[in-house]
Amino acid sequence: MLEQIEENPEIPVKAVQEQFQRRYSVGISRMKAYRAKCIAKKHVEGDYAEQYTVLRDYAHELIQQNPGTTVKIEVDGNPDPGDNTRQFRRIYVCLAALKQGFKAIGRDFLGLDGAFMKGPFPGQLLSAVGVDCNNGIYPVAYAIVESENKESWTWFLEILGDDLGLGTYSNFTFISDRQKGILPAISKLFPCAEHRYCLRHIHENMKVTFKGDLYKEKLWKCACATTVPELGIAMDELKAFNKKAHLWLSKIPPLHWSRAYFSGRAVSDIVLNNMCEVFNGKIVEGRDKPIISALEYIREYLMRRIVTVLNVIEKSEGLLTPKATELFEGIKRDATAYHVQWNGGDLYQVSGKPNHARVVNLAARTCSCRAWEVTGMPCRHAVAAIWEKAANGGRVGALESWVHPVHTMERWKEVYSFRVNPINGRTLWTRVNAPTTITPPKHHTQVGRPKKLRKRSAVELEEMTQSGRLSKKHTKGACSKCKKTGHNSRTCKGQGEAVKTGKSGKSGNAGKKRKAAAK
């Protein structure tokens, strides 16, 4: 049984019954098989409370096998000096390979998010996730804290800043869902940082009052504007459509959600915090395990992910990463529709639609549309200008050489050259001599069945109701025979016959008796 659970922790109870029957030729009840599975799972994954006592041993083993890894454990103080126990509060992990890989990417950009732990002890999993050269996720650090608030986010970001070499006045870029406590934490530690707000969550809040796809389209048009004048035009369109919606959106400073105000430091125009959502989705099964098992689930996923990306890298060809190649091919197709005029120097006037000319400076590698500056990839205006320079005898080289190095295959290979190392089993861990023993945090058993699925917002529930995708739980169904509520067709007691005959059940039975007597 232990081997089965170790190979497949989510093995169905029915499968446990069948395997027991085949191996021992003895049948067992479903409940007995379930209890056996729970006991075996506890042996494999460990006890929830017991794992806190060996947390320091796990941290030591992790650092030993992955030199350069940062692990920080914080416990609550105990007013009794004679008590040798300390209650667990937080743990932070930043694997050395991920730390080095993120620095090699060259994108000063991180998404921040929190997710609930689903075991018997309360807590939140905080994560910092970057974007790699192929626009895939690149997790950097994670922590389990007591709750999501200003204090825990400040603690997490302070250690993260030390790991990544971020000073107080670093011009870094973060994106978040504006969780509780994260705004004041970033303002306190990194006052010069660029803080983007996830546009999807802005739209979720907007949908509460302003429903419909037209609002979403106009919001996205405002967010995708890369210049301030274009943003002004898009905002005026929203105002003409609905003044209240325009007033609502104007209260959120556009420098946090519109590309018109994004700098080029992050080499990314991302307006969604999807990288954190993807990471949370990948580790969702580990969030209900004991603390060390949960941390190991995350580490093993990160180790496997690097191997998966390396397999993709081996099959990829060209100067740019697959995603960058796809995007650049689309830009080149769009560039064919533009007309270019050269001033004889480094400047080019690129025209497409009437009154939509843009100025490209190839020496400075900029375009007045700002797309090249924000993404690091030549926009359609710049590509048309490069073609014009080549047509006039200028030396331009390969078109891909004008793309920022962050999008190149060479950089991508360098990022994933750093590997996460495996660790030994618990029996080989070095025992850390500490004067105190870590105990689990306080908790109380919650009422009802433990929740496994994400809590949906009121807007999501409303949309699912309209689309008919919600379950029929807590709803009163009608009987298919008598069309009355409170029972179904299987338990219907004659009401269906009354509908067919147009009489009550009692009079219908009396009629049957009279017919039988007449015969």
Question: Above 80 in pLDDT, residue 102?
Answer: yes
Q: How far apart are CA 217 and CA 247, in angstroms?
A: 17
Distances (CA, A) of 193 to 25, 166, 189, 262, 263: 66, 10, 9, 11, 11
d(CA 407, CA 424): 36
Q: Which of 174-183, 444-453, 478-487 has the lowest mean pLDDT?
A: 444-453
Tokens 């990022």 sit on residue: 415
Given a cut of 90, whether residue 320 has pLDDT beyond it is: yes
> Each residue of 345-356: pLDDT tens digit?
999 999 988 888
Closest Cα partner for 342 from 387, 294, 278, 275? 387
How do the residues of the chain divide into helix, strand and coil, expressed in percent and rounded to 5? Answer: 50, 15, 40
With a CB cutoff of 8 Å and minimum separation 6, the contacts of 292 are 46, 51, 54, 55, 58
| CA distances to 62, 66, 115, 365 from 429, in Å | 10, 14, 29, 54
Give the strand pairing for 347-351 and 339-342: antiparallel
pLDDT digit string, tens, across residues 35-80: 887 777 777 667 888 999 999 999 999 999 999 999 999 999 877 8
pLDDT digits (tens, 9 = 90+) for 246-275: 999 999 999 999 999 999 899 999 999 999
Report the number of secondary-structure helices (H) and strands (E) in the chain: 20, 12
**pLDDT value of residue 73:** 96
Instruction: Indicate if the pLDDT at residue 194 is higher than 60.
Output: yes
pLDDT band at 507 (very low <50, low <70, confident <90, very high): very low
Q: Is 72 exposed, middle or buried (0-12, 13-18, 19+ CB in 10 A)?
A: middle
Tell me the pLDDT band of 497, cut-offs 50, 70 and 90: very low
* pLDDT, greater one: 78 or 336: 336
Chain segment 69-89, per-residue pLDDT in tens: 999 999 998 778 778 899 999
pLDDT at position 470, please?
54
Query: Among 331, 338, 344, 379, which Cα is nearest to 357's?
Result: 338
CB of 189 within 8 A of CB of 161? yes
Summarize pLDDT for 399-450 with one digit per residue, the tens. Answer: 999 999 999 999 999 999 999 999 999 999 999 999 899 999 887 555 555 5
Q: 236, 72 in Cβ contact below 8 A? A: no
Query: pLDDT tens digits, residue range 204-236?
Result: 999 999 988 999 999 999 999 999 999 999 999
Residue 502 has pLDDT above 50, yes or no: no
Domain map (residue ranges) of the chain: 2-45, 51-198+272-310+416-420, 322-407
pLDDT above 80 for 505: no
